[in-house]
Structure 1
């Protein structure tokens, strides 16, 4: 345990954006950083930890399913037991989904998605809050542009991300006087496999993406933007020009925003 190390907990850090954020933080801070890496895939976490350790960071791997409250709380306790403090919590774990609502036979997987995308971040944050108050720390919530604008075929995913945004916007006001910053990140289409592993209408792995991905942002750029936003204590990190435009057009010309979101879908997954 070392009180001098900056201790950062990252959920969903076995691959994709979470793993890249861990690598970039380790590269930037080396031996002054302790990372707590959480996800369900122990082997993949160990591989990311090895990469981070090669940059001089210290890494603790905690196998965690954020859809289970007890595991979220155990993650935070493991971090504190090992390092004595938490300086930042990056709520990055999430699962995608693509399905037209009328094609969904049962809604059990909607509940599962909400546990992962919304409740997982709430449970982790609730457990970490006393330690973040003590360190005047930082909270990051990785949402999505689908958490700012409803996207056809994303009723489950958008609702979970809208809920996440509402929670953290409220929390931001509550913890401001405690010196805690809350940063909401809104990635657009990023070059990860998250949409391929997400749910389809039957609640099974989609196996493909329903979005056009020709102009997908690189994982490296996305991770860098989130880290910069966290370090600066920014309220919101909206990552694309269309996202920034759409945020304001939603207030002024909502029908136009609906056309924009529809245009982002592949033709074969659009409502008939």
Structure 2
């Protein structure tokens, strides 16, 4: 089994939810951590928790919605620390608005955060991994990356884009001993629904029942890390909602009947 002890790991979206639990679990393993999010205060709290387990934990807060910040931070991190052994692209934002009500500016914002930031960071660390002849890259998608769902058009689009990009990267990176894993979480106990944005860019501010009753974030993070270590190309993480992925693949007509009747929360 692969070990990340004393290995350099960079995690985005590390101040809460799945990212926080990934950081803590890897800290407990003794990984050397670089943690990022757009919330410096909460990020600092997570970093302090991690420092109880690991001797190396650096904070690099930045805004995934601003490409210039993503680029400059990536350049700084790579120039300062050299080769990243594991990059986990995990930061993101969800959506709660109908297609007819959503201006294209919102679509672009979500794509910038949930997709293009992943591309920028991955391209920044990839040359170092190729030079080293080893590395791991992970991307947090969603089961919405496998099918569309009401009120999440831009979110689903960004998550579908993640699949196309990172599946291609996986094929190209294999000769360089670089492993690429895409995680498809379902309903996980995080604040993602609270921070989801509506058609005006305002926070949804409501904890969806599905999220509240979902899988604990720590259990999700454990399964995510296990999949990375096993070099799995993809992993589905969640409860019964994961069945929707298989229903769509095996019984598409049934899927389309179901998806129009489910309350989208």
Normalising by structure 2, report the TM-score.
0.91
> Is 2:126 the partner of 1:125?
no
In 2, Cα distance between equivalents of 1:153 and 1:59: 37
In 1, Cα distance between equivalents of 2:26 and 2:208: 32
CA deviations on 1:220-241 (whole Å, 9 max, x unpaired) are 1111111111111111111135
Alignment CA distance shift 1:239-1:81 (3 Å): same
Measure how far apart 1:261 and its partner are: 3.4
> Is 2:21 the partner of 1:20?
yes
Question: Partner of 1:99: helix, strand, or coil?
Answer: coil
List gaps (5 residues or longer) in structure 1: none
Alignment of 1:145-224 (within 5 A): 145-209=143-207, 212-213=210-211, 215-224=213-222
In 2, Cα distance between equivalents of 1:102 and 1:177: 44
Contact 2:83 2:125 in 1 (8 A): no
In 1, Cα distance between equivalents of 2:63 and 2:163: 21
Alignment of 1:128-147 (within 5 A): 128-135=125-132, 136-147=134-145
* Other-structure match for 2:232: 234
* Other-structure match for 1:64: 62
CA deviations on 1:194-237 (whole Å, 9 max, x unpaired) are 11111112221111155634631101111111111111111111
Contact 1:35 1:60 in 2 (8 A): yes
In 1, Cα distance between equivalents of 2:184 and 2:245: 11
Measure how far apart 1:55 and its partner are: 0.7
CA deviations on 1:108-163 (whole Å, 9 max, x unpaired) are 11110000001010010011111122341000000000001111121111011101
Contact 1:79 1:85 in 2 (8 A): no
Alignment CA distance shift 1:133-1:44 (3 Å): same
Normalising by structure 1, report the TM-score.
0.89
* Other-structure match for 1:5: 6
CA deviations on 1:140-198 (whole Å, 9 max, x unpaired) are 00000000111112111101110111111111111111111110000001111111111
Count of residue pairs the alignment pairs up: 260
Contact 1:38 1:75 in 2 (8 A): no
CA deviations on 1:65-102 (whole Å, 9 max, x unpaired) are 12222322333333334433210110001000011112
List gaps (5 residues or longer) in structure 2: none
Aligned counterpart in structure 1 of residue 106 of structure 2, from 99, 106, 109:
109
In 1, Cα distance between equivalents of 2:55 and 2:218: 19
In 1, Cα distance between equivalents of 2:116 and 2:33: 22
